[in-house]
Amino acid sequence: MALLFLFWCTLFCFAVDSFSISSLVSKELYHSIFLHKDDNACPAKDFYTYESFIKASKCFPRFGNTGSLATRKREIAAFLAQISHETTGGWATAPDGPFAWGLCFKEEVSPQSEYCDSTNKQWPCYPGKSYKGRGPIQLSWNYNYGPAGKALGFDGLKNPDSVSNNSLIAFKTAFWFWMTENKPKPSCHSVMVGRYVPTKEDLAANRTAGFGLVTNIINGGLECGIPTDGRVADRIGFFQRYASTFNVDTGPNLDCQYQKPY
């Protein structure tokens, strides 16, 4: 099954050019959203190109192409908000405001560990490699690098630096994480397009659909179940800015302060 998916993804990415989210995110809009990403102050200067963003998105044709126009725009806004927080270089008094500084970093600065879960035997760590955060979604841990690499056609365990050395691979990992269900977690995509169906455990944990649940999926263990967490507020700030840019509402349940992490 994994080999079939890899074959499909490779075939689709390079042989089909029918759908593109460029109809909703033009090059001009992309650069106005990420206003400072190519400033000299940003370590990822010139890395996160519009061309790589669009090309990577074509590997995942359901992204930004599911549901009504408002739903499509809201999902794109949510995705851009989450990757902006993960890679932000902004600060409270930054030029143009703190939410104009997404895509400033391509890898985690001063990681506290190698992010190696040695108990995971399916995706064993390769000696001397770090699975710190890299790319737009800050992909982390061997159990994410391994399956991401297998799905996308690179060796995530032996060559995790591919995510911070190759702009196209970097964006592909972000879309892969967004679109992939990892039980018990649903995919971020299913949440944002209204296809998330909570289990009994989800209901007991107050994991209701909305942008806050997406934050829970991405980093709930550190940010959710905590009243007024600043990191959650930062994600929401980006989302509100981008939702306004796309002229859509954000929907309910923006935070995850009363949600139990997965």
Q: Is 60 exceeded by the pLDDT of residue 177?
A: yes
CATH architecture under which domain 21-105+181-245 falls: Orthogonal Bundle (1.10)
**Given phi > 0 = left and psi -120 to 50 = alpha, else beta, which region is 233?**
alpha
Cα Dmax for the chain = 49
117 with 141: CB under 8 angstroms? yes
CATH architecture under which domain 107-166 falls: 2-Layer Sandwich (3.30)
Preceding omega of 111 cis (within 30 degrees of 0): no
Active-site option among 28, 51, 75, 86: 86
CA distance 232 to 81: 11
pTM of the prediction? 0.94
CA 233 from centroid of its chain's CA atoms: 17
In this prediction, residue 19 carries a pLDDT of 73
For residue 34, which of 26, 250, 248, 213 has the smallest C-alpha distance?
26
Q: What is the pLDDT of residues 153-176, one digit of tens each?
A: 999 999 999 999 999 999 999 999
* CA angle, 198 then 243 then 100, to 5°: 120
Percent of the chain with pLDDT over 70: 93
192 with 63: CB under 8 angstroms? no
Residue 259 identity: Q
Residue 86 annotated to the active site: yes
Residues carrying CATH 1.10.530.10, the chain: 21-105+181-245
Q: Which contacts (CB < 8 Å, 24+ apart) does range 160-164 have?
A: 160/129, 160/130, 160/131, 160/134, 161/134, 163/107, 163/134, 163/135, 163/139, 164/106, 164/107, 164/134, 164/135
In this prediction, residue 254 carries a pLDDT of 98
Residues carrying CATH 3.30.20.10, the chain: 107-166
16 — pLDDT class (breaks 50, 70, 90): very low
- Name the more confident of 14 and 180: 180
10 — pLDDT class (breaks 50, 70, 90): very low
Dihedral in degrees, nearest 10, Cα atoms 56, 60, 63, 65: 110
